[in-house]
A and B are shown apart, each in its own frame.
Chain A
Amino acid sequence: MNHLSSETFDDNARSALADVQLRGALRNATSLFGKRRLAAAASLQNWEELRSQARSIKDEVLLHLDQYLEQFVANAESRGAKFHWARNAAEANQIICKLIADRGGKKIVKSKSMTTEETHLNVALEAAGMEVVETDLGEYIIQLADETPSHIIVPAIHKTKRQISELFTSELGIPPTDDVDKLTATARATLRDRFAQADVGISGVNFGIAETGTILIVENEGNIRLTTSLPRTHIAVMGIEKVLPRFSDVDVFLKLLPRSGTGQRLTTYQSFITGVKQDEAAEGPNELHVVLLDNGRSRMLAHPITRQSLACIRCGACLNACPVYQQIGGHAYGSVYPGPIGAVITPQLVGLEKTAQLPYASSLCGACREVCPVKIDIPRLLLHLRGEITEAAVNKRRWEQLAFKLWALVMSRARVYRVSAKLGGILQRLLVRDGKIGKLNKSGWLAPPLLAWTSGRDLRPIESKTFRDKWQSELKQRD
């Protein structure tokens, strides 16, 4: 199990950067996704309007989340759905294991749900002696490889065809092949039996519609439809923030989500499930259980800057646009949710202490904000979290804190600033060669940032005549 931790993010990132195959895979995938998203967004003249509309709907829901949740639950319950509230991951897993055990369920099929990744549901199910198979192709591949997903939309984005073929050969016994259709057909054939025999289907939920009590789930493969219509019992796991107010709101989100996620106008299938069947003899499950998960989400409501985290519709566009994610991929973050959105929700869900590196793993370029369909201002969130981290002093950077205190002292007094610039200009003579500061070795220990900079870049030295000097001596006279 590649259980990388976010505490070792810097090491994780270094390993990822050394993985040539991974970097190639990421480069191809993210640039392709980027092009497709751009083309799909450009195909709608009112794209910007739609983003604003979606954000305002989300703001409306979040500001009245308790009311919309209650409405959603009441309407779904009136149609036969049963609800279970989980305060945290462990409780969610307990509820689900008990639901299945009480029904004598043994064979479980599961469709892709990041929320169940968050709770590590499969680990709990297996510990309870239950057999669970992931049916989304990417998730199936990950499950066979005993790994975790590295992208919100394309879980096996980090794997090449060759690697997948090798995996299928060792786990499923098929001959090696480069043919994607053959690999896909193998997965289809292997999973058909599992679908046919499953007594429980577990899915996620993309949106819960309060007005009608409907859960909406979107996909391309058909495994969600099979998971949610074949087995007797359907368990749907949903984060509490996934509510939308009205049935008609689906229009905006179905325009934004597929285009942002994969560049499609619509994913192949949308399943709108409202309660359970009225007629015993009809198709579909006999029971629908919806598990509502908090796990730290309600806390995020306490400030407008953090509340917007909950607007996320899990499209993955920010991952594809992020220059950091493009280089290191998802596993390096050591968190369930990677990339820009992961860097902001993980510290909030899990706590600042173990995740303090993540909000700093960004150049604040803002590409994520540009592509987010619900206009989450991720850079602003990152800065907010950085402020929280330094204030809580969890990042264990005593020297850095002292350095910035000193910096503030110098920068708030012009004369001290000028003197320190002169001082710097003198001290640097130890390091400057041929008009620049090149790669440092021993001398670098004096200032780790200097060592870090010069590992790959030359550095311009402080000039002997600064701008101020030139203003005084040449430019000012002309005034």
Chain B
Amino acid sequence: MKHLLSMDDLDREQIETILERASSFAEVSRREIKKVPTLRGQTVVTLFYESSTRTSSSFELAAKRLSADVVSVKASGSSVDKGESLKDTVETLSSYDPAAIVLRHPHAGSSKMLTGWVDASVINAGDGMHQHPSQALLDIFALRERIGSLEGANIWIVGDVLHSRVARSNIHGFQRMGASVTVAGPPTLIPRGIEATGCEVRYSLDEIDSADVIYLLRMQNERMGENFVPSIREYARLFQVNSRRLGPRQLVMHPGPVNRGVEISSDVLDSGQSLISEQVASGLVVRMAILYELLTGNENTRSDSSPDGPVPIGEPA
């Protein structure tokens, strides 16, 4: 595996490999010295054309924990502001000979385009409304830590599915791990043809009791101008997950950032049924695992010396 572009590209075995690697990094993260020398001397570029807190910080920290040199570029305040094209920016950054480029971009397929322009491994950290594979992987990781296996789990993805790259990645990811997926939301925010992915569609939360896990999506205020929902108030009344709707055995996830009081009530958010902080913590170790697999995985296969854990564990830099 050279690039991570879409959950479509990953089979269950590859997902398992990354998750196992993440588990071993979780162990490293509990040590006093959390750094390993795996990527010493290598450069990781993160290039973010959209605002991000969790994804950009965790990729950056993940690369640093692996001892890589990290260059973080944000569109605002860079030459992108001056109208430089994606291709030219990427070619400029390529002169640092990066081992990996982590890209977030508002347009679908931008990461895929990069693979034609650079030698580096390309990691899609969100491309338009298309894919956000590292999010799906960390969600699967966090969920497995809590419930052991996704096999047979019933997962509902609720909210603005239409505009969500997270939904597009997670539907595939959850299904591949054996879960069944239902998407729910107002019909204006459920894309036509989504049944083709094998998920069920509901336009209400009437049957939400059947869910083991409720995965909430952010209701984006900027969608209001386009009449996707008549009002946030009505949306919250129909689709908010709150303590009245949530059963005692159900778990709640959310990719963040959260709109308290819109898609989720504060009491649910702050309850033990919420996995949100575990998701953020998983983000770091899963992204370490992704970098590890992409940047060292091939060499291990070649030398046939693939160890059970990261090679240099116990050798802090």
Partners in one complex: no
Residues of B bordering A, CB below 8 Å: none
